[in-house]
Amino acid sequence: MDELRAWSDDELRELIEREATDELESALDDLGPTGVSRLLAELDEDERQHLWALLPPEEAADHLEAIPWAQASDAFQELPPDVAAKILDEFRSDDQADFISELDDDEREAVLREMDSEDATEVRKLALYEDDVAGGLMETEFLAYDRNLTVAELVADMRGRAEELVHYDVQYTYVTENGGVLVGVLRLRDLVVTPSQRRLESIMIDAPLKTLDTTSLEDLEHLFDSVSFLAIPVVDASGRIVGVVRRHDVEQAAGERSEGDYLKSQGIVGGEELRSMPTFRRARRRLSWLTVNIGLNVLAASVIAAHQDTISAVIALAVFLPILSDMSGCTGNQAVAVSMRELALGLARPSDAFRVWRQELSVGAINGLVLGGLLCGAAYIWKGNVWLGLVVGLAMLLNTLIAVSIGGVVPLVLKKLKFDPALASGPILTTVTDMCGFFLMLTLAGAVLGRLG
Amino acid sequence: MDELRAWSDDELRELIEREATDELESALDDLGPTGVSRLLAELDEDERQHLWALLPPEEAADHLEAIPWAQASDAFQELPPDVAAKILDEFRSDDQADFISELDDDEREAVLREMDSEDATEVRKLALYEDDVAGGLMETEFLAYDRNLTVAELVADMRGRAEELVHYDVQYTYVTENGGVLVGVLRLRDLVVTPSQRRLESIMIDAPLKTLDTTSLEDLEHLFDSVSFLAIPVVDASGRIVGVVRRHDVEQAAGERSEGDYLKSQGIVGGEELRSMPTFRRARRRLSWLTVNIGLNVLAASVIAAHQDTISAVIALAVFLPILSDMSGCTGNQAVAVSMRELALGLARPSDAFRVWRQELSVGAINGLVLGGLLCGAAYIWKGNVWLGLVVGLAMLLNTLIAVSIGGVVPLVLKKLKFDPALASGPILTTVTDMCGFFLMLTLAGAVLGRLG
């Protein structure tokens, strides 16, 4: 990257101010997606709008497609309708649908009114699909030819469309009948090596693998797992080809979902957060998660409040309560993580809950004995009271069994109930294990109170 | 999937026992990768070895490439050298290196001795590369032709190799000089539309984008982010083309890394866990994480132990300590998640630590006021003592600022120090925030002890 020029924010601001489009274009190319993303975070809204309006729409579209989605979608929403329409026109079809779906109804219509009516109809159709089905993931740029054409006719057509094809990701050519019904597929490399007078129907692969536009992301993942194709044609209910879904896009969507799962499990909800976003929006989103959690924490701590007499008799218990709470969270989260992974791989289904529970109990028993033993030893060394050791050790052992059971099974149950396991497993786990753990330790202590003094 | 036959484990066991290879093959195809993976988890080691030995090596390789890596690598390690060698021969080149690297030195040599010596040399060379550099991610199946050949000669060669090319993922053809030095690239679609008497050098794209075999996964991600190619040729230090790294493989590797980050952040360390693995291995791996954590927890709780007098004067504090600990973990983990994501996107670098800290403090101040206010209110409602409310509320506010600071900055610092931020951020965060939180609440309480009674 040595040959690239480094640009300061001030230099770039100055280029925007004096509308030096050419210099700006090459500066943004030097910066690359990461640099562009950092620049956008530094500029204010007016400067960003000015920048996008200055750039040729094709350049603007390229940059918006390359930077992180959370930032690109924010930037797109800030644009005036005429600029947005020009840029939208340059996106690849699968991105068009993603960007337009981010706008509310009024804004969307304002943008679509600025577009050529044929393009607008196309975008409207794509925007109807959910993000995570074949129709929302597919591209509508594909090559399809009638089965009665010859190889020579096909090649002549491709030659004539060379300019346009630059924007296509051509690996397969689809063969249709009755003006669109998919009946075959040709690999480009087969075209290279086939005599040109042959009809497509005589060289195509019949009854090609295809998928409905309503196929879910999960099913698409399994489909691509089981075959080696780079792309699969998408058909509507009548069998007409409407697009092509690529392995690349399915894997990217799956990767985004797993990143989203990580973020949600750590309490980043309501969409990805970048620190370039407004402080109040960041604070509000994080609080929506925190306020639920503090409520659940107060609920769990009410178990301690109900046993104040026991604690005031044995103050040492106050030292072990947070340890018990934290360790149960750790053991439970391990089980949650394995369940989330096995759900994603299709190795665990909601109906496997009982098997998962058994498999967690065996690991939980071993780990509970070790952790309980360690805590028992720590308590005994500190206070020299074997009963105190037994109380905290036994509470740790029992609560480990509870934590791995909840951690292993809850994600499967949430999945079954159509809740998002990445989002809800953590708070349910910590609340229930805290309540059980506090109850166990304080009740056990209460039962042998006379020996703990 | 209605047309696929469902197979019970007992039926499959029986097929293996009576060595019904054909039926077994079609049964495994019916099962698909997920089903095969579930079956392997049910079989014992002898049955698994028997199964792999029965299948034609090509079939076995296909199944091993399709199931989750953790399981495939375990299964491969169980194989006797002769079976392993036959299957290894059928893997794609990038997978060959991954599988052979899993074996220890003796096993590896035993397998390589069973292979044809030319193939063995090739595998040895690939196994030298790390998993996460271009050399470890690339495939060695690619097409390269000398610049002086004509299109017709190239097409004739491709026709002659049609059988072999089925296993290639051909989208580009590379052009070389001096027997291997990369000088150009041709797209397959350009070959389709080019007159056949032209020389390759006259139609190739000159000075193509290429990358060194030592390029890191992170740099490859940025490279693919900044261009739209599906594959980039890999050259060695002398400029000779040695392989092709595909966008698909880079994205898959990046996805695996982000899944690994999620698992590690939840305490699944030492490699991915599947519940089909032996109980003791699962318990041992999880314990390696848990025992570190219980040690850190005991350390943090020692702060409480040092303030037992304060707690025995105001037992209510024992109720608020676990809440404070848990909520600080929540607020800190949100900051960790955003930093991890910004690190992955290249939006935050270790040198941005100060900016990140400022941006976390502003969000932390808002959220600390809200959470502190809620906890203050809860304490006041419960005990009717405004000073108790102020103590727990102020401790919550201050510790939120500490938690977001540590959560935001620690991943950047760990990255700088070449530690794995996914693994270490959580334990550092919870230990430090627990110690600070306990100290704050108990010291503040100690300062106004007379008014809390």
A and B: number of Cβ contacts within 8 A: 319
Mean pLDDT of all residues in B123-133: 84
Q: What is the DSSP secondary-structure string of B177-218?
A: ETTTEEEEEEEHHHHHTS-TTSBHHHHSEES---EETT-BHH
Q: Which residues of A touch B254 (CB under 8 A)?
A: 255
> What pLDDT digit, counting tens, does each position of A266-306 carry?
888 887 888 888 888 899 999 999 999 999 999 999 999 99
DSSP A186: E
- Confidence class for position B194, pLDDT limits 50, 70, 90: confident
Q: Picking from B273-277, B412-416, B447-451, which range would have the lowest pLDDT averaged per residue?
A: B273-277
Q: Picking from A26-40, A375-389, B368-382, B399-413, which range would have the lowest pLDDT averaged per residue?
A: A26-40
Beta bridge partners, B175, equal B145, B184
Residue of A nearest to B66 (CA): A225
Q: How far away is chain B from the Cα of A292, in angstroms, using its nearest Cα?
A: 11
pLDDT at B155: 83
Boundary (domain end) residue, out of B97, B128, B159:
B128
Residues B220 and B364 in one domain: no
Q: Picking from A336-345, A442-451, B319-328, which range would have the lowest pLDDT averaged per residue?
A: A336-345
Q: Which of A240-249, A390-399, B200-209 has the largest mean confidence?
A: A390-399
Domain with A239 in it: what CATH number? 3.10.580.10
Whole-number Å distance between alpha carbons of A286 and A290: 6
Residue of B nearest to A304 (CA): B319
- CB-CB under 8 Å, A33 with B222: yes
Contact of B403 with B271, CB cutoff 8 Å: no
Whole-number Å distance between alpha carbons of A23 and A27: 6
Q: How far away is chain A from the Cα of B138, in angstroms, using its nearest Cα?
A: 16
DSSP A221: H
- CB-CB under 8 Å, A282 with B32: no
Whole-number Å distance between alpha carbons of B218 and A179: 45
Q: Which of A55-59, B258-262, B317-321, B421-425 has the largest mean confidence?
A: B317-321
> Which strands make up the sheet holding B172-177, listed edge to edge?
B144-146, B172-177, B181-187, B205-206
Mean pLDDT of all residues in B255-264: 82
Task: Please indicate, yes or no, if residue A217 is contained in any of the structural domains.
Answer: yes
Mean pLDDT of all residues in B336-358: 88
Provide the greatest CA pair distance for chain A.
99
Residues B98 and B154 in one domain: no
The sign of the dihedral angle between the CA atoms of B284, B285, B288, B294 is negative
Is the confidence at residue B272, as pLDDT, over 70? Answer: yes
Percent of chain A with pLDDT over 70: 96
Domain with B406 in it: what CATH number? 1.10.357.20
Number of other CB atoms surrounding residue A89 within 10 Å: 17
Is the confidence at residue B2, as pLDDT, over 60? Answer: no
- The angle that helices B316-345 and B353-383 make with each other, rounded to 10 degrees, is 160
What is the overall mean pLDDT for chain B?
88
Q: Which of A239-248, A419-428, B44-53, B384-393 has the largest mean confidence?
A: B384-393
Domain count, chain B: 3
Task: Please indicate, yes or no, if residue B175 is contained in any of the structural domains.
Answer: yes
Contact of A293 with B293, CB cutoff 8 Å: no
What is the overall mean pLDDT for chain A?
88
CA angle at residue B451 from B446 to B453, to 5 degrees?
A: 90
Whole-number Å distance between alpha carbons of A387 and B148: 87
Q: Picking from B223-232, B331-340, B397-406, which range would have the lowest pLDDT averaged per residue?
A: B223-232
Mean pLDDT of all residues in B232-240: 92
- Confidence class for position B5, pLDDT limits 50, 70, 90: low
Tokens for B344? 């992955």
Whole-number Å distance between alpha carbons of A448 and B97: 60
Whole-number Å distance between alpha carbons of A402 and A429: 10
ipTM value for the complex? 0.81
Residues A236 and A293 in one domain: no
Alpha carbon of A165 to those of A66, A79, A160, A235, B8: distances in Å?
21, 29, 10, 22, 49
Residues B163 and B308 in one domain: no
- CB-CB under 8 Å, A326 with B434: yes
Q: How far away is chain A from the Cα of B283, in angstroms, using its nearest Cα?
A: 5
Contact of A256 with A263, CB cutoff 8 Å: no
- CB-CB under 8 Å, A434 with B267: no
Residues A94 and A180 in one domain: no
- CB-CB under 8 Å, A37 with B367: no
Boundary (domain end) residue, out of B253, B271, B305:
B253
pLDDT at B92: 81
Q: How far away is chain B from the Cα of A82, in angstroms, using its nearest Cα?
A: 27
Element holding A430 (H helix, E strand):
helix A421-447
Task: Please indicate, yes or no, if residue B394 is contained in any of the structural domains.
Answer: yes
Is the confidence at residue B307, as pLDDT, over 90? Answer: yes
- Confidence class for position A102, pLDDT limits 50, 70, 90: confident
Q: Which residues of A touch B298 (CB under 8 A)?
A: 323, 378
- CB-CB under 8 Å, A191 with B192: yes
Domain span at A52:
9-128
pLDDT at A166: 61
Residue B178 gets the label, from left (phi > 0), alpha (psi -120 to 50) or beta, of left
Residues A166 and A41 in one domain: no
> What pLDDT digit, counting tens, does each position of A51-94 carry?
999 999 998 998 898 888 888 888 898 899 999 999 998 888 77
Residues B114 and B153 in one domain: no
The Cβ-side half-sphere exposure at B363, using a 13 Å CA radius, reads 31
> Which strands make up the sheet holding A181-187, listed edge to edge?
A144-146, A172-177, A181-187, A205-206
- CB-CB under 8 Å, B363 with A290: no
Q: Which residues of B touch A378 (CB under 8 A)?
A: 298
CA neighbor of A286 nearest in space, from B423, B424, B400 = B400
Mean pLDDT of all residues in A255-263: 82
Task: Please indicate, yes or no, if residue B270 is contained in any of the structural domains.
Answer: no
Is the confidence at residue B34, as pLDDT, over 90? Answer: no
Tokens for A171? 């690996």
Q: What is the DSSP secondary-structure string of A251-304?
A: HHHHHHHHHHHHHHHTT--SS---TTS-HHHHHHHHHHHHHHHHHHHHHHHHHH
- CB-CB under 8 Å, A268 with B334: yes
- CB-CB under 8 Å, A367 with B434: no
> What pLDDT digit, counting tens, does each position of B151-193 carry?
888 888 887 776 676 666 667 889 999 988 999 998 877 777 7
- Confidence class for position A230, pLDDT limits 50, 70, 90: confident
Alpha-carbon B172 to chain mean position: 29
- CB-CB under 8 Å, B322 with A322: yes
Whole-number Å distance between alpha carbons of B381 and B373: 12
Q: Which residues of A touch B356 (CB under 8 A)?
A: 275
> What pLDDT digit, counting tens, does each position of A202-214 carry?
889 888 889 999 9
Residues A99 and A210 in one domain: no
pLDDT at A403: 97
Is the confidence at residue A3, as pLDDT, over 50? Answer: no
Is the confidence at residue B1, as pLDDT, over 50? Answer: no
Q: Which residues of B touch A261 (CB under 8 A)?
A: 262
Is the confidence at residue B196, as pLDDT, over 60? Answer: yes
Is the confidence at residue A225, as pLDDT, over 80? Answer: no
Characterize the bridge pairing of strands B241-246 and A181-187: unpaired
Task: Please indicate, yes or no, if residue B207 is contained in any of the structural domains.
Answer: yes
Task: Please indicate, yes or no, if residue A265 is contained in any of the structural domains.
Answer: no
DSSP H helices, A275-385, are 279-305, 308-313, 316-345, 353-383
Domain with B13 in it: what CATH number? 1.25.60.10
Boundary (domain end) residue, out of A95, A128, A161:
A128
Q: Which of A239-248, B34-43, B251-260, B394-403 has the largest mean confidence?
A: B394-403
Q: Which of A358-372, B8-22, B128-142 has the largest mean confidence?
A: A358-372
- Confidence class for position B211, pLDDT limits 50, 70, 90: very high
CA neighbor of A91 nearest in space, from A44, A161, A139 = A139
Q: Spell B190-214 as b/e; 16+ CB within 10 A means b.
A: bbbebeeeebbeebbeeebebbebe
pLDDT at B169: 64
Residues A114 and A190 in one domain: no
Residue A258 has its nearest CB partner, among B225, B259, B325, at: B259
Q: Which residues of A touch B255 (CB under 8 A)?
A: 251, 254-255, 258
pLDDT at A132: 83
Is the confidence at residue A2, as pLDDT, over 80? Answer: no
Residues ≥6 apart with Cβ < 8 Å to A224 = A232, A247, A250, A251
- Confidence class for position B262, pLDDT limits 50, 70, 90: confident
Q: What is the DSSP secondary-structure string of B98-148?
A: HHHHTS-HHHHHHHHHHS-HHHHHHHHHHHTS-TTBHHHH-BS---EEETT
Residues A231 and A292 in one domain: no
Alpha-carbon A296 to chain mean position: 26
Whole-number Å distance between alpha carbons of B430 and A326: 9
Residues B301 and B410 in one domain: yes
Task: Please indicate, yes or no, if residue A338 is contained in any of the structural domains.
Answer: yes
Is the confidence at residue B444, as pLDDT, over 60? Answer: yes
Percent of chain B with pLDDT over 90: 46
Residues B108 and B183 in one domain: no
Task: Please indicate, yes or no, if residue A37 is contained in any of the structural domains.
Answer: yes
Q: Spell B77-101 as b/e; 16+ CB within 10 A means b.
A: eebebebbbbbbbbbbbbbbbbbbb
CA neighbor of B222 nearest in space, from A396, A68, A308, A162 = A68
